[in-house]
């Protein structure tokens, strides 16, 4: 996806600089009044820039206030099947909001990609996605094949009598970002892969089981359980870490009053 990164502040420019490293081919656009050493194309008017970029890019990531973005988008919006994916990120890089063309245009997936790169929280409000309430946490050895991961997920869901259509995310730790098998497995399952920052796992005050083996290998207290719990909101475990064919799986359900 050809992506434009648009920033309206110095902090936003720094966030864009982080994103451009993980989005090959992305272009940074900076407002002309923003004092920054970040290299980017300068623009004077967000309204004019949006009109220019709207048909040239398939993805627009604004590091700017939602209100300003909505005003810039309004005259250009036509059809959810044609409009580009639009994601809005706050200047501090804490949230990545899927704002326009969420499902059809790919903004939901783009928001997760952006969130993974920033260690942010993806915000997706598409009804079909919001109704899904299951997150599958995965821990695996380096080089694990996608087929093994997909099979392990299927077995785990069957263990807790959960329909795969309820799965909203596959989740793991950010140290697994280079695992090709995880990415392929997520695509095969038709869900985004959410990568939880290691610092969040280490700091989490959640009731997951710690593993000395995982601690020795990757310097984390665990992977599958905390990833499943931290990737959602108001989560509790339906299935604690269980190993299927060498792949550790934990299943969590969202929108619970408390974790157990």
pLDDT at 129 over 90: no
Q: What is the pLDDT, as a whole number, of residue 81? A: 83
Summarize the confidence of residues 211-222 as an average pLDDT.
84
Which residue would you say has higher pLDDT here, 136 or 255? 136
First-residue to last-residue Cα distance in the chain: 40
Q: Do 39 and 84 sit in the same domain of this protein?
A: yes
Q: In the block, which residue shows the tokens 């902090």? A: 11
Confidence of residue 208 (pLDDT cuts 50, 70, 90): confident
215 three-state secondary structure: helix
Residue 237: what pLDDT?
95
Domain residues for the domain of 107 are 3-128
pLDDT in tens, 235-248: 999 999 999 999 99
Q: What pLDDT score does 64 carry?
A: 96
pLDDT band at 144 (very low <50, low <70, confident <90, very high): very high
For the ranges 126-130, 145-149, 226-230, the lowest mean pLDDT is seen at: 126-130
The residue written with tokens 């973005």 in the block is 69
CATH number at residue 93: 3.40.50.11220
Q: How large is the average pLDDT for residues 160-174?
A: 96
> In which residue are the tokens 């269980």 written?
242
Contact 249, 152 (CB under 8 A): yes
What integer is the mean pLDDT of 207-225?
A: 85
Do the domain assignments include residue 199?
yes
How many C-beta atoms lie closer than 10 Å to residue 175's C-beta? 17
Convert the pLDDT of each residue in 78-122 to its tens digit. 988 899 999 999 999 999 999 999 888 899 999 999 999 999 999
How confident is the model at residue 164, as a pLDDT? 96
Instruction: Write down the pTM of the prediction.
Output: 0.89
Residues 183 and 199 occupy one common structural domain: yes
- Is residue 177, in this structure, part of any structural domain at all? yes
| Residue 128 to residue 86: CA distance in whole angstroms | 18
| Domain co-membership, 180 together with 158 | yes
CATH number reported for the structural domain that contains residue 206 in this entry: 3.30.420.180
Domain co-membership, 164 together with 117: no
- State mean pLDDT over 22-47: 95
Residue 259 resides in a domain: no
| Same domain, residue pair 8 and 108 | yes
Asked whether residue 27 falls in the same domain as residue 69, the answer is yes
Residue 258 domain-assigned (yes or no): no
Do 9 and 95 lie in one domain? The reply is yes
Q: What angle do CA 135, 156, 194 make, to 5 degrees?
A: 25
Mean pLDDT of 32-58: 95
| Pairing verdict, β 236-244 and 247-253 | antiparallel
Do 40 and 153 sit in the same domain of this protein?
A: no
Does pLDDT of 259 surpass 50?
Answer: no
Tens digits of residue pLDDT in 50-85? 999 999 999 999 999 999 999 999 999 998 889 999
């Amino acid at each position: 996806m050809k992506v434009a990164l648009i920033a309206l502040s110095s902090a936003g420019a720094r966030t864009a600089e982080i994103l451009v490293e993980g989005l090959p081919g992305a272009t940074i656009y900076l407002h002309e009044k923003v004092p920054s050493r970040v290299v980017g194309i300068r623009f004077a008017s967000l309204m004019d820039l949006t009109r220019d970029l709207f048909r040239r890019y398939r993805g627009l990531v604004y590091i700017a206030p939602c209100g300003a973005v909505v005003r810039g988008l309004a005259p250009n919006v036509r059809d959810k099947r044609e409009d580009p994916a639009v994601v809005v990120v706050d200047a501090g890089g804490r949230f990545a909001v899927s704002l326009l063309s969420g499902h059809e245009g790919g903004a939901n997936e783009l928001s997760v990609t952006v969130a993974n790169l920033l260690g942010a929280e993806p915000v997706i409000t598409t009804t079909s996605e919001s109704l899904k309430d299951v997150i599958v946490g995965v821990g695996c050895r380096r080089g694990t094949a996608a087929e093994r991961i997909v099979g392990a997920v299927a077995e785990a869901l069957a263990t807790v009598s959960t329909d795969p259509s309820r799965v909203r995310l596959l989740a793991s730790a950010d140290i697994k970002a280079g695992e090709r098998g995880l990415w392929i497995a997520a695509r095969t399952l038709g869900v985004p892969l959410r990568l939880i920052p290691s610092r969040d796992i280490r700091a989490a005050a959640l009731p997951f089981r710690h593993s000395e083996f995982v601690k020795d290998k990757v310097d984390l207290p665990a992977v599958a359980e905390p990833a499943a719990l931290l990737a959602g909101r108001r989560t509790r475990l339906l299935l604690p870490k269980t190993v299927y064919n060498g792949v550790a799986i934990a299943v969590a359900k969202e929108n619970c009053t408390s974790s157990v």
